[in-house]
């Protein structure tokens, strides 16, 4: 038996307002979530899978109009024609209270209950799929806790849209623990909600497949579904299948050893060539950032717009690479070191080192960020907001980055003020 597990299709997500940028390949970006969803169905049919399971957030939100729903029904109908059953739950983005329209589903598709855990048995496959969707956007109960134990005679899959046991800066959606999931005796937990693919456990398998298409520049790398192969009632293979049509990538270039602008541009061009190869036939969207204390700093900053245009020009020549954003974060070589020995800088630096090494001290600051986060719109807090990486705010990693950046900023400001 083969199962194709996907989640977070986010059909018709506007993809991070990218289309607002000058020169953006608007049509390709706008259609990306639909094309990736078509690839999901293409894969199911080509691989002759036995069932497709979707763990929530099929839609990005309420349909703009019926075309969003009609598109999805069209894809389900292709699977229906191929004789492939589909089991779906809703998530926070497409909770029953959010999507106001509905259309009749094809006979192959089961949308599990939002009110209680529902067990769907597919007799031909000796398969049970257990799941519960979201009645409303915010679900703070541990839904999995109420899922029934596995029927020992069936291969049982649990479907759940969840933030699992949470992370700092991540609101709890249907929170639960690996132990709770394990206690049910299921063979595979098909999760959704976290957009980065992650295999949480292998006994039993607990998998976030990630979304099928990155939605903005921080959702980088391959995106797709997970193909699960079962033999004699046991999972024997779990493979990531890329489905994305637009591949987001970060392109950070350290210009420390580069003498001039030409050398920097040449290096960026090389990186674009590598990105081109990694992306295959997809459109590659690169967020370019130049860092380092570089001899080329003055020349780059003399005409930052000219440099940005040059990078975009190089991207165009790389064929199907689009430079979404170009950030200059270089500094003058030498200057900074002069200030590292400054008395005030030394004191601040020592405090930063102390904070970085003492998580307890950082917690105090994380608390202040919590207050900030509660002031953000609910949508932003859920991770639905595209412009701010709100999920990272207050994480230890984020705080450590802020500390490092503040040290560099102080030194840069001193250096700039001295010239
Ligand atoms: Mn979600």
Domains (range + CATH), the chain = 2-242 (3.60.21.10), 246-330 (no CATH), 337-418 (no CATH)
Range among 28-32, 51-55, 327-331, 332-336 rated most confident: 51-55
pLDDT digits (tens, 9 = 90+) for 67-119: 999 999 999 999 999 999 999 999 999 999 999 999 999 999 999 999 999 99
Distance 258 CA to ligand 1 centre (A): 43
Secondary structure (H, E, C), the chain: CEEEEECCCCECCCCCCHHHCCCCCHHHHHCHHHHHHHHHHHHHHHCCCCEEEEECCCECCCCCCHHHHHHHHHHHHHHHHCCCCEEEECCCCCCCCCCCCCCCCCCCEEECCCCCCEEEEEHHHCEEEEECCCCCCCCCCCHHHHCCCCCCCCEEEEEEECCCCCECCECCCCCCCHHHHHHCCCCEEEEECCCCCEEEEECCEEEECCCCCCCCCCCCCCCEEEEEEEECCEEEEEEEEECCCEEEEEEEEECCCCCCHHHHHHHHHHHHHHHHHHHCCCEEEEEEEEEEECCCHHHHHHCHHHHHHHHHHHHHHCCCEEEEEEEEEEECCCHHHHHHCCHHHHHHHHHHHHHHHCHHHHHHHHHHHHHHHHHCCHHHHCCCCCCCCHHHCCCHHHHHHHHHHHHHHHHHHHHHHHC
When pLDDT is cut at 50, 70 and 90, the band that residue 18 belongs to is: low
Alpha carbon 279 to chain centroid distance? 17
Q: Say which residue, 319 or 365, is predicted with more confidence.
A: 319
What integer pLDDT is reported at residue 90 of this predicted model? Answer: 97
Distance 383 CA to ligand 1 centre (A): 8
Contact by Cβ (8 Å): 264, 227 = no
Distance 137 CA to ligand 1 centre (A): 9
What integer pLDDT is reported at residue 408 of this predicted model? Answer: 66
Q: Say which residue, 411 or 291, is predicted with more confidence.
A: 291
In this structure, the number of other CB atoms found within 10 A of the CB of residue 161 comes to 30
Distance 193 CA to ligand 1 centre (A): 4
pLDDT digits (tens, 9 = 90+) for 357-368: 887 777 777 777
- Across the chain, mean pLDDT equals 88
Surrounding residues of ion ligand 1, Cβ less than 5 A: 57, 91-92, 193
Distance 59 CA to ligand 1 centre (A): 10
What integer pLDDT is reported at residue 178 of this predicted model? Answer: 95
Distance 88 CA to ligand 1 centre (A): 14
Q: Specify the pTM.
A: 0.79
Mean local confidence (pLDDT), 146-162 = 97
pLDDT digits (tens, 9 = 90+) for 235-264: 999 999 999 999 999 999 999 999 999 999
Distance 292 CA to ligand 1 centre (A): 37
What integer pLDDT is reported at residue 385 of this predicted model? Answer: 40
Over pLDDT 70: what percentage of the chain? Answer: 89
When pLDDT is cut at 50, 70 and 90, the band that residue 384 belongs to is: very low
What integer pLDDT is reported at residue 345 of this predicted model? Answer: 78
What integer pLDDT is reported at residue 389 of this predicted model? Answer: 59
Distance 302 CA to ligand 1 centre (A): 44
Distance 272 CA to ligand 1 centre (A): 32
Distance 57 CA to ligand 1 centre (A): 6
210: left (phi over 0), alpha (psi -120 to 50) or beta: left
pLDDT at 48 over 70: yes
pLDDT at 19 over 60: no
What integer pLDDT is reported at residue 338 of this predicted model? Answer: 67
Distance 61 CA to ligand 1 centre (A): 10
Pick from 266, 373, 280, 376: nearest CA to 321: 280
């Amino acid at each position: 038996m083969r199962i194709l597990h996907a989640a977070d299709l986010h059909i018709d997500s506007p993809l991070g307002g990218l289309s607002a940028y000058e020169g953006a390949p608007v049509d390709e970006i706008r259609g990306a979530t639909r094309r990736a969803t078509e690839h999901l169905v293409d894969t199911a049919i080509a691989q002759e899978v036995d069932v497709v399971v979707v763990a929530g957030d099929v839609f990005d939100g309420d349909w703009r109009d019926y075309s969003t729903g009609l598109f999805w029904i069209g894809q389900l109908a292709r699977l229906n024609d191929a004789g492939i059953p589909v089991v779906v739950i809703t998530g926070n983005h497409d909770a029953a209270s959010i999507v106001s329209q509905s259309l009749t589903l094809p006979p192959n598709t089961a949308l599990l209950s939002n009110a209680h855990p529902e067990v769907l048995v597919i007799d031909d496959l000796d398969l049970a799929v257990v799941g519960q969707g979201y009645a409303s956007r915010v679900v703070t109960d541990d839904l999995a806790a109420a899922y029934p134990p596995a029927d020992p005679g069936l291969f049982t899959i649990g479907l759940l849209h969840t933030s699992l046991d949470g992370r700092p800066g991540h609101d709890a959606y249907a929170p639960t623990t690996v132990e709770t999931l394990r206690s049910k005796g299921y063979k595979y937990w098909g999760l959704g909600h976290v957009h980065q693919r992650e295999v949480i456990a292998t006994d039993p398998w607990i998998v976030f497949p990630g979304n099928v298409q990155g939605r903005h520049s921080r959702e980088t790398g391959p995106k797709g579904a997970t193909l699960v192969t079962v033999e004699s009632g046991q999972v024997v293979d779990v493979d990531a299948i890329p489905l994305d049509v637009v591949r987001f990538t970060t392109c950070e270039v350290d210009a420390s050893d580069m003498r001039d602008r030409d050398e920097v541009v040449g290096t960026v061009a090389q990186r674009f060539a590598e990105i081109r190869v990694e992306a295959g036939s997809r459109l590659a969207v690169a967020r370019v950032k130049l860092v380092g204390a570089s001899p080329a700093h003055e020349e780059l900053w003399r005409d930052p717009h000219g440099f940005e245009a040059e990078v975009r020009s190089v991207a165009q020549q790389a064929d199907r690479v689009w430079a979404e954003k170009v950030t200059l974060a270089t500094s003058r070589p030498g200057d900074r070191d002069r200030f590292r020995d400054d008395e005030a800088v030394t004191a601040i630096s020592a405090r930063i080192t102390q904070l970085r090494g003492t998580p307890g001290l950082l917690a105090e600051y994380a608390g202040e960020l919590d207050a900030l986060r509660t002031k953000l719109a609910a949508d932003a807090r859920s991770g639905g907001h595209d412009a701010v990486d709100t999920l990272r705010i207050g994480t230890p990693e984020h705080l450590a980055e802020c500390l490092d950046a503040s040290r560099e900023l102080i030194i840069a400001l001193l250096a700039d003020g001295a010239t």
